[in-house]
Structure 1
Amino acid sequence: MSQAPIITPITLRGAAGKLAAWEVEPPAGTERRGTALLVPGFTGSKEDFEEMLPLLAAAGYRAVAYDQRGQWESDGPDEVSGYTLVDFVGDLLGVVDQISPTEPIHLVGHSFGGYVSRVAVIERPQRFRSFTLLASGPSSVADINFPPPLLVAQAVEAGGQEVIWEQMDAVMAQADQQPAPQRREFLRERILRTKKANIIGILTCMAEPPVKDPAVLRDSGVPLLVAYGDTADLWAPEVHERFAKQLNAKTAVYHGSGHVPNEDVPAQVSADLVAFWKEQA
C-alpha cells in the first residue's frame, strides 16, 4: 500500500525575501503527471489549500502552494509601494521558475491570487499548461459584493489589520459559520501577522481590474477553467458564467459553496482540477 502524500514545508525565493510554501510529492509508484501551483488570495495563505494538496499529489501531481509576499509566514516590505501587481506577478513567475525550470505547470489562482495569476499567464503563457480561476471574478469594482477597495484600505490605514479581522468575524457570525475555536484563532493570528502594507497594497491593486479586456487572457492560448461556488460568493453565479463565456473557458460549479470551495468541498475541486488537467496531457 502506497503512503499517503505528506505536506512538506519549503522556502522559495521572492524579490522581497523568502516565501513560505508547502509542497506535496506524489507517492512512490504513482505516475507523475506534472506540477501544479496554487496561489492564495486576499488575507489568505498556503493553508487555504491544505486539504487539496495531498489529493492532487495522490493523482500524480507535485502540488505547491505559497504565501504571497507579506502574507502570514512570508517576508515582505513594510512600505505599501512594495505591493503592486507587478511585484506580486514577479514573485509568481519567479516561483514557477524555481519549482519547474523547464516544464510548464498547471496554475490555480484563488480570488486575488487569480488576479495575480491571470497577469502572469498573459505575460508568459508558455510557462503554463492550464490556468484555473477559483472564485476569482473579473474585477473588484463592479458586479461584486465587496465595499470599494480604497475605502477599505483607508479603514485599514487608520485601524490596522484588526479592522479586517473584525469584519471577517462579523460576517462569519452573521452567516452562522463560526469556525471551531482553534481554526478561529488561526484565522485571526494570520491576519494580524500579515503585514499591514500587504493588505493595503492588495486593496489598492483591487481598485482596478487586473485585466481590462478578457480577450487578452482568452487569446493567450492557455486552457482556462472558471470554478466557483453558487452560494454567497463575492461574485454572483451569473457574473462568473458571463466571465467564462468571455474567456471561452470551461466551468465548474460548486452548489451550496461560497467563496472558498477549496475549503468547503476540497475533494470535489481537486477532482475537477485533475479531470481538467488530464485533458491537457
Structure 2
Amino acid sequence: MSTPRFLTLPPGVSEQQIETPIGSFAALEALPVSGVAERWPALLVPGLTGSKEDFIAVLQTLAQAGRKVVAVDLRGQYETPGPDDPDAYTCQALGWDVAALVSEIGAGEPVHLLGHSFGGLVVRETVLHGTVKPASLTLMSSGPAGIIGPRERAGRVLLAELPEFGLDYLWSNRMEPEALRAGVPDDIVAFLRKRLLANHPTGLMTMAREVLDAGDRVPELIGCGLDLMVLYGEHDDGWPPALQAEMADRLDAECVVVPGAVHSPAVEAPETTASALTRFWNVAESRILQHG
C-alpha cells in the first residue's frame, strides 16, 4: 500500500475521463502551468491496490518539463469501473487496455510508458503485444516474475481472506492497522479506505494472483528496440533491489536506485524520481528523433 504525498491537485493537474474504444478510464492529467507541451506525453500505470493518486507528487514536476503526463486507474481500480469477468484483469488483458490508452493519449505521437509494481507487469504486456510502440519503457519497483518477500506474503493473505471476509475485513484488520502504525495522517487514511473499498473484488483477486504467479518474460523484452529504464528504491520490500538490478542488466536497461525510497519512489522521493524520469525521457526522445 502506498500513500499519496498530498491529495489536493497541484496547479496544472486535473481529473479526466479518457474515452477509448474499449471503455472509459479515470485519469489525472498534468499539463505545463507555463509554456506548452512540446515534448511527447507520458502514461503512468499504478500497482495492485494503487491508483492514479500515487503519482500526484510527481505530476506537476514532470509536466513542467514540457509534456502532458497522464496517470490512470486500471480497469476495476478505484474510479475506473470493471466487469465481473476475471479474464478482464489478467496482465495480458490489462496490457491491451493500456495499449488503447497509449493510442488515445498519444494521438499519433509516441508515448513514454511507466508501470509501477504490478503496473510494470502490465505495461510489459503492452509492449509485447506489439500493437503500439512506446517512446520508452520504465519499470518502477517491478520485477522479472512474481513478487517475493513481505509483499508476497501480503498478497497471499489477500487471496485467502478476501473471498471469505470481504474488503471491509481486509481494511479493518490488515490495512488500517498498518497505516496507523506508520503514522499516516487521518485524511490520507480515509482516502486509502475509500480507495480500497472502491476496487472491484474480482479484479483485486485476479490482479493479486497475477502479481504472485507471473512468469519471467524478460527474455521476450530483450531486443524490443525501446529505451528501457529500471527504477526502484534502495530499500524496496517488494522485488529485492538486487533482483531488479539483475533484470536491468539482462535488459541492458538504465538502472536508477532512488536513495531512501522503499517501494513507491514517486511518493517517497518525488523530486529525485521526477528528475530521473525527465532526464531519461528527454534522452530517449533525442535518440529517436536523431536516428528514427
User: Larger % of helix: which?
Assistant: 2
1:216 aligns with 2:212: no
Count of aligned pairs between the two proteins: 275
Distance 1:55 1:125, change over 3 A: farther
The residue aligned with 2:256 is: 252
- The CA deviation at 1:146 is 1.5
The residue aligned with 1:267 is: 271
Unaligned runs of 5+ in 2: 1-9, 287-292
* Matches for 1:103-118 after TM superposition, within 5 Å: 103-118=109-124
Q: Is the 8 A contact 1:15 1:91 kept in 2?
A: no
1:238 aligns with 2:245: no
CA distance in structure 2 between the partners assigned to 1:70 and 1:11 by the alignment: 14
Question: 2:58 pairs with 41, 47, 52, which one?
Answer: 52
1:43 aligns with 2:49: yes
SS in 2 for 1:26: coil
- The CA deviation at 1:219 is 1.4
Cα RMSD after superposing both structures: 2.1
CA distance in structure 1 between the partners assigned to 2:69 and 2:245 by the alignment: 27
**Which contiguous aligned blocks of 4+ residues in structure 1 show a shift greater than 6 angstroms?**
none
Distance 1:178 1:14, change over 3 A: farther
Deviates more, 1:32-41 or 1:7-16: 7-16
CA distance in structure 1 between the partners assigned to 2:258 and 2:203 by the alignment: 30
The residue aligned with 1:168 is: 175
Question: 1:77 pairs with 78, 83, 86, which one?
Answer: 83
The residue aligned with 2:208 is: 203
Distance 1:77 1:257, change over 3 A: same
Unaligned runs of 5+ in 1: none
CA distance in structure 1 between the partners assigned to 2:159 and 2:110 by the alignment: 36
Distance 1:93 1:200, change over 3 A: same
Q: Is the 8 A contact 1:71 1:193 kept in 2?
A: yes
Q: Is the 8 A contact 2:58 2:270 kept in 1?
A: yes
CA distance in structure 1 between the partners assigned to 2:91 and 2:244 by the alignment: 22
The residue aligned with 1:146 is: 152
- The CA deviation at 1:222 is 0.8
TM-score (norm 2): 0.87
1:9 aligns with 2:4: no
Q: Is the 8 A contact 1:143 1:239 kept in 2?
A: no
